[in-house]
Amino acid sequence: MKTIYKFYYLLLIPFAALLFANSSGSPGGRSGSPGDGGATCTACHTGTAVAQTGWISSNIPSNGFTPGETYEITVNAAHSGAGKFGFELTAETPSGNKLGGFVISDAARTKLIGGGNAVTHTTGGNSGGNNTSWAVNWTAPEDQTEVHFYAAVNAANGNGTTSGDQIYTTNLFANLALPAVLVSVDPNEAEKGSSPELTIIGANTNWTVGFPEVSIVNINNMNEVYGATLVSVSSDLELQAVINIPFDATVGDYHVVVDDISLPAAFKVTVVSSLETQTAEAFQMYPNPLTTEFLTINAQQNSEISIFDLNGRNIRTVAVAVGANQINLSELEAGMYLIVSESETSKNIQKLIVR
């Protein structure tokens, strides 16, 4: 009988060693992934693996990962009254090739296995309860358009054997982020001196995060930039922006720019085609059409009078006092001009025809 007992004792040695080893981490190749041949913890523990949805989470944006960027991948587990929890996580191509890229962020609870191609728990990271989670950093590869994460979780009953445990599997698929682009802007033109509200549509944009900066840029002069005074984000793919276009803005095409992406030559600044009706505070000028050298400005307030051609060039700015003021405009060629009067309380525009 002593010999028989000794024989049983010898059989229990490797069994106990296996239990101790797995309590400090998976032996590897047990994530349930195609690259692991679908093998899970059921290779050592009895029972059938149960698939779960959403047990792998990440901070990878909804529009996908960016090569070279590092993200946090979390494996979550839930099982009422589990004595211990364990797991193995891996990342693969759709065809099952290992990608690695894992960087341990919590060495007390997780460690790398399989040459860095997988992550598992440590002895300090297998505590039980009703739920637990493990987090690890992962750097996105440079040459992949799709990455599949797989994990197997062991909710052990803590009885010291391989029976009575529940194995779970889960996965998460992530795609390469497509480049953000601007699709359209509406309206696509406005008069100088106006403040249009532009509705801008994007694709693969993420405008609900942060504060987008919007501007229009003259295609022939990159230093002529007019930024939005108000930006309202409707969604990741749509925003509204109010841009004040000054009276001296250059007529022509402008790029529409949101942060670092541009819609080339998508907006046009045009000449003033219509003017508001003159109010009681507005200035009066005569004669109009101008057929002499002198234009008379009858101002209701002390003001500045600016004369612009239709290309937005400021020809002259003069100060006028209340009452009648004469301005010598003998240098003006025949054509149409904009006369802008600006005081402390009002700003008015009128067209002047020179013959």
Q: Is the Cβ–Cβ distance between 257 and 217 less than 8 Å?
A: yes
SS3 content of the chain, % helix, strand, coil (to 5): 10, 50, 40
35 or 19: whose pLDDT is higher? Answer: 35
Q: How far apart are CA 341 and CA 307, in angstroms?
A: 9
Q: Is the peptide bond before 34 cis (omega within 30 degrees of 0)?
A: no
Q: How far apart are CA 249 and CA 224, in angstroms?
A: 8
Q: How far apart are CA 35 and CA 167, in angstroms?
A: 19
Partner residues linked to 121 by β-bridges: 110
* 2.60.40.10, 1.10.3210.10, 3.40.50.300, 3.30.160.250: CATH of 181-270: 2.60.40.10
Q: How far apart are CA 227 and CA 215, in angstroms?
A: 4
Residues of the chain with CATH 2.60.40.3080: 284-354
Taking the alpha carbons at both ends of the chain, their separation in whole angstroms is 128
**Is the pLDDT assigned to residue 194 strictly greater than 80?**
yes
CA distances from 119 to 37, 110, 137 (A): 17, 7, 10
Q: In what order do the strands lie in the sheet with 303-309?
A: 314-320, 303-309, 335-342, 347-354
Residue in 282, 285, 253 with CA at minimum distance from that of residue 270: 253
pLDDT tens digits for range 317-344: 999 999 999 999 999 999 888 888 888 8
**Is the pLDDT assigned to residue 21 strictly greater than 50?**
no
**Is the pLDDT assigned to residue 207 strictly greater than 60?**
yes
Residue 273: the pLDDT is 66
Kindly give, in sequence order, each residue whose CB lies less than 8 Å from that of residue 210, ignoring residues fewer than 6 positions away: none
Q: Per CATH, which fold does 2-175 belong to?
A: Immunoglobulin-like (2.60.40)
Lowest mean pLDDT among 106-120, 181-195, 258-272, 300-314: 300-314
The whole-chain average pLDDT of the chain stands at: 88
Residue 12: the pLDDT is 44
Q: What CATH number has the domain spanning 284-354?
A: 2.60.40.3080
Residue 152: the pLDDT is 97
Residue 281: the pLDDT is 52
Q: How far apart are CA 353 and CA 294, in angstroms?
A: 13
Six token digits for residue 40: 């899970």
Six token digits for residue 229: 């005074």
- Mean local confidence (pLDDT), 5-29: 56
pLDDT tens digits for range 48-68: 899 999 999 999 988 899 999
